[in-house]
Chains A and B, each alone.
Chain A
Amino acid sequence: MSRVLVPLAVLEGESVSPGLVDLLAPADVTVLGYHVLPEQTPPDQARVQYGDRATAALETLTATFEAAGGAADSRLAFTHDRDRTIDRVAEETGSQAYVLPGIAESIDRLLVPLTGDVAADRVLAFVADLIGDREIGVTLFLATDAEADGRLLLEEAAETLAGRGVETESTLVVSEGPLDALGGRAFDALTEDAAAHDAVVVGERAPSLQSLLFGDEAERIAAESVGPVLVVRHSEDSAAASEP
């Protein structure tokens, strides 16, 4: 099974809930403890003062994942830029996905949005690998302005997962306007659905003007639903190409 990166603001006491630990049990987990500093402070200065405390917290977290049966290791980073650090460490560890931890007691059903320009194949393969032979259901979600194409895509996706023994349902939202504008109908429908599920798996998108203005889509979903959000990364090639 592939590697999943779990970035946590360790020094702010961010932790993982039992549902997420169970969900990630089949995966190799790298816990990335990070601490974001304002630019006045050299990262090394924070490491000198808080390194030990952070390392101790990370050991506890790593042990939690190991107790659930998976292999887990940890990295600790002091940074001015959280997203850059997550990107770099995910790249270096070859992680297929990273997690916005959220809170879930147990995870029985995943929401998997396929809206827009995401690598559906990678997302579905990751979901199937993660679920394995466990009793976890999937709701596929698609918002589109082309109903027929959308229905076809959902059917193909459902077949792919069914072929791996995963039970699926589908939600199709036909929308006229722009598909993922903040507060648009499609996004509202998605966050409503997300709140009704234990966790969400999304494909990473290239940064856009919209994500610069309103924040990353995955983070907006995480903010709206309480549960964990797993972000399946770009393939290595496209990730390297997006490096500024």
Chain B
Amino acid sequence: MDTDTPRGGGTNVDNEAPRIEPTVETDAATKTEDAELERTLGLAGGLAIGIGTMIGAGIFVFPGLAAGRAGPAAAGSFAIGAVIALFVALPASELATAMPKSGGGYYFISRGLGTLAGTVVGLSLWLGLVFATAFYLVGFGYYAVDTLAELGIAVGNGWVIPLALLFGAGFTVLNVTGTENAAKLQNGIVALLLSILTFFLGFGGLDALGLVGEPAAPERFAPFGAVPVLTTAALVFTSYLGFAQIATVAGEMRNPGRNLPLSMVGSVVIVGVLYVATIFVATSAFGSERLADLGETAMVEVGRHYLGPIGAVAIVFGGLLATISSANASILSTSRAVYAVSRDALLPRWASRINLRYGTPHVALGLAGGPILALTATGRVTILAEVASFLHLVMYGLICVALVALRRDEPTWYDPDFRVPGYPVVPAVGAVASFGLIAFMQPTSQLIGVAVMVATAGWYVYYARNVTLRGVL
């Protein structure tokens, strides 16, 4: 509806202005002038979003690829990723408690650094999620083929992409028409995954340390040197993108001052520990060369090695669930990303329309669905993952910069419940590490990432250069 009066500065090419209204935030609801928006997510829900988004890629898709690049030191690559993610999660937590609104990183950056940075990040985030979803879907395709193989139906890897496309289309349709509360399902999936992994890691860990089973042949920790450890860290950073998704639902989280920092930092710590342990166990089971040969579903063979057929089935099942939950959570986030920028007049308002029948954002979901399928069809796992990481890392770096910018001339509205320990070192390290990690990616990924950012900046100049968002709450 275009009837209410906007307060944001300036208008876009379509003569729409940012829709910014005064709100009162309580722990249980956001109150605008005419309505209340219930906060319904608790700490468990926040953790489930974070862990559920992250865990699919990190444990089930990357071990083989990462071990092939870095050897057993791939565990170090995952640890580096976790530390960088933590250095960003802390500043992001402070900003999220100061601005507990839907939109997450985009919102902080547009308010802290202005419209240009906001447009680039907002649209890049959307595309980053599109790339990430495509990556998760390809991972899902590999696990689907392996599942069929475990069931005795060998179809070969030629079916990976068709299956990924089929399910990608299916998830999109499901998200447009599905009104059942899938959050509870997501919580269940995450709990199930965590128990499968804990059991597997507990047993595999004992074996790897030589306490049970036969001792494995020792291997040099970093056979290829230090640089591959860093390039691998750049590749596998996709495994940590989920914590920022928690910030995108900040407006729906109960008691945000407590639950946002806890769920962001907590989910990074939990999955970081799981990842490092998993890689350790996987590289102890087989040499890294063997893992690399096994590729995207190497973990299935690791499961078989430790626990026999049951282990293989458990990992295949876990991998299916995890890639589904990652893909689905990311598709959901794309529509929130579109909503956040179109509310601020950086995209046409029709892009965020919802339908009354299902109550779902069908336009935004449809807009994401097409590109997701096109990217899935390329099947380029490493490129998809790196571009997704690239676009997110730019946002993470800018989140840290936005925190510093806001802290330097603290506006009166800036009153976070959670303040970063070790300011300004933590955000500075977070920014440098985020931008630095980009340098270790493949040239193709860097090129695509830069092209996306230039294109979004071009969109700003064409469409929204008269919109002002800095400090507009």
Contact = CB atoms under 8 A, between A and B. Distances in A.
B417 interface: no
Given A39-B332, A45-B339, A52-B3, A76 B36 contact: yes
A220 interface: no
A44 B37 contact: yes
A44 B30 contact: yes
B36 A80 contact: no
B49 to A, nearest CB: 10
Given A48-B19, A80-B252, A38 B36 contact: no
A80 B175 contact: no
Contact of B38 (A40, A52, A84): A84
B356 interface: yes
B102 A78 contact: no
Contacts of B343: 44-45, 48
Given A37-B359, A80-B181, A43 B38 contact: yes
A53 B34 CA distance: 11
A78 B35 contact: yes
A55 interface: yes
Interface string A188-206: 0000000000000000000
Given A38-B178, A40-B361, A81 B37 contact: no
Contacts of B34: 51, 55, 76
A36 B358 CA distance: 10
A41 B181 contact: no
A45 B356 contact: no
B354 interface: yes
Contacts of A43: 37-38, 251-252
A38 B1 CA distance: 21
Nearest to B44: A244
A214 interface: no
B365 A40 contact: yes
B292 to A, nearest CB: 38
A37 B29 CA distance: 15
B3 A41 contact: no
Interface centre among A37, A54, A81, by most B CB within 10 Å? A37
Interface centre among B34, B182, B359, B365, by most A CB within 10 Å? B359
B382 interface: no
A76 B36 CA distance: 6
A39 to B, nearest CB: 5
A47 B339 contact: no
A44 B178 CA distance: 19
Contacts of A11: 356
Contact of A39 (B183, B339, B354): B183
Contact of A41 (B4, B30, B32, B359): B359
A95 interface: no
B179 interface: yes
A79 B37 contact: yes
B29 A77 contact: yes
A49 B37 contact: no
Contact of B339 (A42, A55, A78): A42
Interface in B281-333: 332
B304 to A, nearest CB: 36
Interface in A35-72: 35-55
B361 A84 contact: no
A49 B179 contact: no
A85 interface: yes
Interface string B242-282: 00000001011000000000000000000000000000000
A166 B295 CA distance: 79
A38 B37 CA distance: 13
Contact of A77 (B37, B175, B183): B37
Interface in A197-239: none
Contacts of B179: 38
A185 interface: no
A48 B19 CA distance: 9
Interface in B1-36: 1, 3-4, 19, 28-30, 32, 34-36
Contacts of B35: 47, 51, 54-55, 76-78
B36 A77 contact: yes
B248 to A, nearest CB: 9
Nearest to A38: B179
A44 B181 contact: no
A35 to B, nearest CB: 8
B252 A88 contact: no
B360 A42 contact: no
Given A11-B356, A44-B102, A75 B36 contact: yes
Given A44-B251, A45-B354, A81-B40, A52 B181 contact: no
Interface string B175-212: 10011111100000000000000000000000000000
Interface string B326-351: 00000010011001000100000000
Interface in A11-47: 11, 35-47
Contacts of A50: 356
Contacts of A76: 34-36
A134 B183 CA distance: 47
B354 A49 contact: yes
B19 A78 contact: no
B37 A40 contact: no
Interface string A75-103: 11111110011001100000000000000
Interface centre among A42, A48, A78, A85, by most B CB within 10 Å? A42
A52 B359 CA distance: 16
18 contacts: A38-B358, A38-B359, A39-B182, A41-B360, A42-B249, A43-B37, A44-B251, A45-B352, A48-B343, A50-B356, A51-B4, A52-B3, A52-B4, A76-B34, A77-B35, A78-B35, A78-B37, A85-B38
Interface of A: 11, 35-55, 75-81, 84-85, 88-89, 244
Closest 4 CB pairs of A and B: A79-B38, A43-B37, A76-B35, A80-B40
Given A38-B359, A49-B354, A89-B36, 16 more contacts: A38-B178, A42-B102, A44-B37, A46-B359, A47-B35, A51-B1, A55-B35, A75-B36, A78-B37, A79-B38, A80-B40, A80-B252, A81-B40, A84-B40, A85-B38, A88-B28
Interface of B: 1, 3-4, 19, 28-30, 32, 34-38, 40, 42, 102, 175, 178-183, 249, 251-252, 332, 335-336, 339, 343, 352-354, 356, 358-361, 365
